[in-house]
Amino acid sequence: MKTKITTTAAAVLLGISTLASANPPGAPAIYNNGPAAPLLNMTNMRDTERAAFALYEGLMQATEALVYVKGCTPFSAPVSAYVDGHTYNQLEVNSFNGVRLDATLQAPVAGFGQNIDVLQAAPGVLNNVGVDSLRGRYTYNHLNNLMVNERTSLRVAGQNGRPDLFYSAAIKDFYHGNTYGPGQFYEIYDYGLQVLSKSGYPVNKWWQKSKAVRDNGQQGCTVFQKDRLVGVGACRITLSTVGYSQPGLFWQDGYLTVSQVTPSAPDTELNGCSLIQAP
């Protein structure tokens, strides 16, 4: 038994040593030449898109906390989003007592940007786990190429049944599809990082990317994907929806999915969200 433990420990240490000897990973290829000039990678993101993306981010953050509590238990849940930028800005998990988030668009500040506040008005359930009190502010700059969420707070029922307090923070940068190569001006991409904290201390780190295609005689689509980089085991969260994405209206339906795959797994949903050229 002692020999077996010693052998296992040696294998683990060898793996750690091999990992430690490797160079840190490089930045994504789009940043090979450094940051693009702000006037190049600014976007014409609409207020409905800013609100919708803030809502999507809020639901993803709630799911990250769920994964920390419950492990990367695979599941899929139907989701619907309806944002008009005025009276009705909502994202909802369409299951019994599903989580519902509402967005409030603050007045844009010329030359600075806009704040979007996201709030969970009533307790809900996500994959049979209670989620409540989610509240966060998502701040976009005036070029619509950066969004920062300094802290979103929420409570998720822990393993002891009592609600645990989590905090989440994110930074995302947006650019149009043709900023760094072939693409369409009505495609919006983003890359970013996410950290999840419990009781004020970081516990998980996620790498995230998204793609949104506006409808143009076809259905639009939006995909947010996050892969866990630091934590217990590989895990991917995907929020994929299709429907309208027009000036004054963002209305899409789809699914929130958690799966046990590595970050190197194919980006199936992201790649499936693409512009279909008219014949």
- DSSP element (H, E) containing 254: strand 249-259
User: pLDDT digits over 234-263, tens only?
Assistant: 999 999 999 999 999 999 999 999 999 999
Nearest to 208 by CA among 51, 42, 43, 56: 56
- Taking CB atoms within 8 Å and a gap of at least 24, the contacts of 21-26 are none
14 pLDDT above the threshold of 70: no
Structure confidence at residue 269 (pLDDT): 94
Average pLDDT over residues 211-230: 93
List Cβ neighbours of 262 (8 Å cut-off, separation of 6 or more).
Answer: 227, 234
Q: What is the dihedral of CA 182, 172, 258, 102, to 10 degrees?
A: -120
Neighbouring CB atoms inside 10 A of 255's CB total 16
Distinct helix (H) and strand (E) counts, the chain: 4, 13
- With tokens 């009705």, the residue in question is 88
In angstroms, the CA 51 to CA 44 distance is 14
- Structure token digits, residue 197: 């904290």
179 pLDDT above the threshold of 80: no
Size of the chain, expressed as the number of residues it contains: 279
Nearest to 209 by CA among 184, 244, 236: 236
Angle, alpha carbons 165-171-175 (nearest 5°): 145
Structure confidence at residue 109 (pLDDT): 96
User: pLDDT digits over 25-62, tens only?
Assistant: 777 777 888 887 766 678 899 999 999 999 999 999 99
User: pLDDT digits over 267-278, tens only?
Assistant: 999 999 987 655
Structure confidence at residue 5 (pLDDT): 47
- With tokens 């963002």, the residue in question is 250
Structure confidence at residue 276 (pLDDT): 65
Q: What is the dihedral of CA 259, 261, 265, 268, to 10 degrees?
A: -10
Structure confidence at residue 213 (pLDDT): 93
Structure confidence at residue 99 (pLDDT): 96
In angstroms, the CA 267 to CA 104 distance is 31
Amino acid at 137: R
User: pLDDT digits over 73-114, tens only?
Assistant: 999 999 999 999 888 999 999 988 899 999 999 999 999 999
Structure confidence at residue 13 (pLDDT): 47
204 pLDDT above the threshold of 50: yes
215 pLDDT above the threshold of 80: yes
List Cβ neighbours of 33 (8 Å cut-off, separation of 6 or more).
Answer: none
Neighbouring CB atoms inside 10 A of 74's CB total 12
Structure confidence at residue 277 (pLDDT): 56
pTM: 0.89
Angle, alpha carbons 93-98-102 (nearest 5°): 65
Instruction: Quote the mean pLDDT of the chain.
Output: 88
pLDDT band at 176 (very low <50, low <70, confident <90, very high): confident
Nearest to 1 by CA among 9, 14, 15, 17: 9
User: pLDDT digits over 105-150, tens only?
Assistant: 999 999 999 999 999 999 999 999 999 999 999 999 999 999 999 9
Structure confidence at residue 12 (pLDDT): 44
Structure confidence at residue 182 (pLDDT): 47
